[in-house]
Amino acid sequence: MTFTEQFLAEAGEILKRIDVAAVERLAATLAECRAGGGRLFILGVGGSAANASHAVNDFRKICGLEAYAPTDNVSELTARTNDEGWAGVFEGWLRVSRLRATDALLIFSVGGGNLEKQVSPLLVAAIQYAKTVGAKVTGIVGRDGGYTAQNADACVIVPTVNAKHVTPHAEAFQAVIWHLLVTHPALKQAETKWESVR
């Protein structure tokens, strides 16, 4: 078997193992957020930050859900990191945005955050802050989901089928699942361009 065959076989296995009920809970939670006039804040670091930026567009344009990614403002992100430290970057951003109970976080992460290992502490701090204001916490994460999965109201864990490929599969399937969500009848409001061209 070539590497390409192996990698694609792993992707196929992940598709078979995705928890469908978890995806449905996530769709319902986001639909509830929109119905209540809430906003969606999509948080990710590294490749997950790039995914967050793309997903913001899709949730806004296709679903009519007011959405933001703190990482889209590199000036504020780097100023907060420089002046206040990395761990509080997202929490500070959410405080200024006046995060409230009608809002929701959507965490994109490979590990979901882990304070003991000091991995993605800024996600943990954001989740902790969201809980204090009553905002919903959701996520699409890899591995065991870490802090996000343990504390989320709705979370999809991308199954691990090869421990050597956790990161690429987790980040790739963030995109698969968010595209499923923006296409889901509970959320989709606008036709996508190429589907509307006859």
Would you say the pTM of this structure is higher than 0.85?
yes
Please list the alpha-helical segments (H only) found in 62-159: 74-84, 89-96, 121-133, 146-151
Tell me the angle at which helices 47-61 and 166-183 cross, rounded to the nearest 10 degrees. Answer: 0
Q: What is the dihedral of CA 135, 69, 141, 80, to 10 degrees?
A: -90
Q: Write down the residue that tokens 């192996």 correspond to.
A: 6
68-to-62, 97, 146 alpha-carbon distances in Å:
14, 10, 23
pLDDT, average across residues 150-159: 97
User: Would you say residue 198 has pLDDT above 80?
Assistant: no
Rounded percentage of the chain residues whose pLDDT exceeds 90: 89
Residue extents of the structural domains in the chain: 22-188
Tell me the angle at which helices 89-96 and 121-133 cross, rounded to the nearest 10 degrees. Answer: 30
Report, at the CATH architecture level, how domain 22-188 is classified. Answer: 3-Layer(aba) Sandwich (3.40)
Q: Quick check: helix, strand or coil at residue 68?
A: strand
pLDDT at 116: 84
pLDDT at 55: 98
User: Would you say residue 146 has pLDDT above 80?
Assistant: yes
pLDDT tens for 162-175 read 999 999 999 999 99
CA distance 182 to 194: 15
CA distance 68 to 84: 21
User: Would you say residue 66 has pLDDT above 80?
Assistant: yes
128-to-66, 74, 84, 118, 148 alpha-carbon distances in Å:
22, 23, 18, 15, 10
Confidence of residue 145 (pLDDT cuts 50, 70, 90): confident
pLDDT tens for 17-63 read 999 999 999 999 999 999 999 999 999 999 999 999 999 999 999 99
pLDDT at 98: 98
pLDDT at 25: 98
Computed over every residue of the chain, the mean pLDDT equals: 96
pLDDT at 35: 98
pLDDT at 65: 98
CA distance 157 to 37: 27
